[in-house]
Amino acid sequence: MQRMFVLAFSIAAAAAGGAMAQPLYPDKPIHLLVGFPPGSQADTVARLFGQKLAEAVGRPVVIDTASGAAGSIAADRLAKAAPDGYTLGLMGEVQMVINPSLYKLAYDPLKDLAPISQVTWSPNMLVVNNAVAARSVEELVRLANSHPGALTFASGGSGSSPHMAAELFNASAGTDIRHIAYKGVVLGLPDLISGRVTMMFSPIGIVLPLVREGKLRALAVTSSKRSPAAPGVPTIAESGYAGFEYTAWYGLVAPAGTPAAVMRKLQLETAKVLALPDLHAKLADAGVEGVGNSSDEFTAMIKSEIPKWAKVIKDADIKPD
């Protein structure tokens, strides 16, 4: 009897010791993959958010840039990473809901990636060269329809956020505005300012300073509600195209198979840091708003947007660069 008690005690002690030896997550730096270059909106959001997440979890968050292929290189690396919570990604709508209909991908965003929480959302802003004879969306559509194929819009490449917003606009307004692709939104700005291209749908944080300086004219934002960064600029929906909506977003994503406890911790910490007033202010300065929703809510949004953009890509016959 005494031997059985000693044996039972030893087993319990060993189990307790094993549990005590199990490290708490995280116990080393977390790497955050970003699929777009330094200076991009994705990079800005990653650095602002990553700094606060590091403070919250007590470990460094290292920003790893893996740009190229419209963000697919970073997403593919994330899908193949160990599902232990130490490699995460700040993935955007281009990587998660647009690229699957545009490219032959080595990853499946619904099977190989695990959404944790949506981090931010922001509208694109429709801006035109100052010489364009249009001061509203209605006037722009009238101008485009009176000169079919003569107006042009710049984008950051085929399938990029500005490209998709513009093609959705073409479909909604029945216009024929031609696409001029650049290797990044910023590279198209000199031609837009000089008048070599007519217009652009751009992440708001990139062009808002130019609008304030009087170098470009803002006609509308693409979200369903006005942007707090530019409350005087109407939405396309309220400019006569009810239901029009395009928002660029970024979310925290892990490799599929990441433990549920790790996913829960990351979601809770994400929601907490996005509620911090100083981070809210810094994100607002960059033209974006924090979200911090649940994994289920974020996943449902991704699933709903994939068929929406598949239709736009098919109808506009969009091909990859």
- 44 & 104 share domain: yes
Token couple for 22: 């199990």
- 63 & 170 share domain: no
Residue 101 lies in a domain: yes
Domain CATH number, residue 136? 3.40.190.10
Contact 128, 134 (CB under 8 A): yes
Q: Which of 197, 220, 239 is the last residue of a domain?
A: 239
- 114 & 252 share domain: yes
Q: Which of 211, 239, 267 is the last residue of a domain?
A: 239
Residue scoring higher pLDDT (23 or 251):
251
- 157 & 172 share domain: yes
The 10s digit of each residue's pLDDT in 31-71 is 999 998 888 889 999 999 999 999 999 999 999 999 888 89
Q: What is the pLDDT of residue 3?
A: 47
Length of the chain: 321
Q: What is the pLDDT of residue 7?
A: 45
Q: Is the pLDDT of residue 215 over 70?
A: yes
Using alpha carbons, list the distances in angstroms from residue 53 to 47, 148, 267, 310: 10, 49, 11, 33
Query: pLDDT class for 15, splitting at 50, 70, 90?
Result: very low
Instruction: In whole angstroms, give the CA distance from residue 12 to residue 214.
Output: 72
Q: Is the pLDDT of residue 14 over 70?
A: no
- 212 & 133 share domain: yes
- 230 & 278 share domain: no
Q: What is the pLDDT of residue 4?
A: 45
Q: What is the pLDDT of residue 287?
A: 87
Query: pLDDT class for 1, splitting at 50, 70, 90?
Result: very low
- 48 & 107 share domain: yes
Query: pLDDT class for 22, splitting at 50, 70, 90?
Result: low
Q: Is the pLDDT of residue 79 over 50?
A: yes
**Per-residue pLDDT averaged across 300-316, rounded?**
94
**Per-residue pLDDT averaged across 215-241, rounded?**
95
DSSP labels, 206-233 = HHHHHHHTTSSEEEEESSSS--TTSTTS
Residue 20 lies in a domain: no
- 229 & 252 share domain: no
Longest dimension (CA), the chain: 97
- Provide the b/e sequence for 92-130 (b: ≥16 CB within 10 Å): bbbbbbbbbbbeebebebbebbbbbbbbbbbbbbbbbbe
Residue scoring higher pLDDT (239 or 37):
239
- 128 & 232 share domain: yes
- 92 & 118 share domain: yes
Q: Which of 207, 239, 271 is the last residue of a domain?
A: 239
Q: What is the pLDDT of residue 130?
A: 97
Residue 15 lies in a domain: no
Which of 259-264's residues contact partners 24+ apart within 8 Å by CB, and which partners?
259/83, 259/84, 259/85, 261/25, 262/25, 262/84, 262/85, 263/85, 263/114, 263/116, 263/295
Q: What is the pLDDT of residue 9?
A: 45
Residue 14 lies in a domain: no
Residue 38 lies in a domain: yes
Q: Give me the percent of the chain exceeding a pLDDT of 90.
A: 82
Number of folded domains in the chain? Answer: 2
- 115 & 136 share domain: no
Give me the domain span that covers residue 200. 123-239
Q: Is the torsion defined by CA of 132, 136, 141, 142 positive or negative?
A: negative
Domain CATH number, residue 57? 3.40.190.150
- 36 & 97 share domain: yes
Residue 13 lies in a domain: no
Residue 19 lies in a domain: no
The three-class DSSP label of residue 83 is coil
The three-class DSSP label of residue 37 is coil
Strand pairing category for 247-255 and 113-128: antiparallel
Instruction: In whole angstroms, give the CA distance from residue 320 to residue 312.
Output: 14
**Per-residue pLDDT averaged across 104-130, rounded?**
96
The 10s digit of each residue's pLDDT in 171-201 is 999 999 999 999 888 899 999 999 999 999 9
Residue 21 lies in a domain: no
Q: What is the pLDDT of residue 242?
A: 94
